[in-house]
A = this chain, B = another copy of it.
Amino acid sequence: MPRGNGQGPMWWHGRFRGCGYRITVGREAILDVLTRADKHLSAEDIYIKVHTAYPAIGLTTIYRTLEILVNLGLVFKFDFGDGRARYELAEGSKRSAHHHHLICTDCKRVIDYTDFIDDEIELLKQTEKGLSEKYNFMITNHLIQFYGLCDKCRKKKGGD
């Protein structure tokens, strides 16, 4: 099993240990799958991938590990409206950079976009500051998604 660079402890080991969590093969396998994922995976997607290399690891462990990862802020959990949660490595790892989502309400396709992010982040920063003060709320994260019809579904539906 390739482990990122094949040697030393992974980038997340420290964080894990620091919170009292143990490093296990299952957890390494799950992080590995998430790290090399190029799309948004469901718990079962991850289970299947992990299963090919480690058939002993159960779906329950996938859920448990994902919950920890989400709480640690290492992974984001999304609801794209298809009835199952989707997971994606948080920025900070090489693979994923901060981005937002474009979701087709018809075929459920999800597009990551990083364009315009700079302007958005700029405004978000201000908004977060204002909201924090007014509502005495400590903002730690945000979710921005645009919904509509994708390229293909647009054609399938009406003209225009």
Query: What is the interface of chain A, defined by CB distance below 8 A to chain B?
Result: 79, 81, 102, 104-105, 111, 113, 115-116, 119-120, 123, 126-128, 130-131, 134-151, 154
* Minimum Cβ distance to chain B for residue A55 (Å): 30
- B139 near A148 with CB under 8 A, answer yes
Q: Among B79, B130, B140, B151, point to the contact of A116 (Cβ < 8 A).
A: B130
- A143 near B141 with CB under 8 A, answer no
* Minimum Cβ distance to chain B for residue A129 (Å): 10
- A141 near B146 with CB under 8 A, answer yes
Q: Among B119, B127, B128, B146, point to the contact of A131 (Cβ < 8 A).
A: B146
Which residue of chain B has the shortest Cβ distance to A113 in the bound complex? B131
Bound together, the chains give a CA A5 to CA B138 distance in angstroms of 42
* Minimum Cβ distance to chain B for residue A116 (Å): 5
CB neighbours of A119 from chain B (8 A): 123, 126-127
Bound together, the chains give a CA A123 to CA B126 distance in angstroms of 13
Bound together, the chains give a CA A150 to CA B116 distance in angstroms of 29
Q: Among B130, B134, B143, B146, point to the contact of A147 (Cβ < 8 A).
A: B143
- B149 near A140 with CB under 8 A, answer yes
Bound together, the chains give a CA A142 to CA B120 distance in angstroms of 14
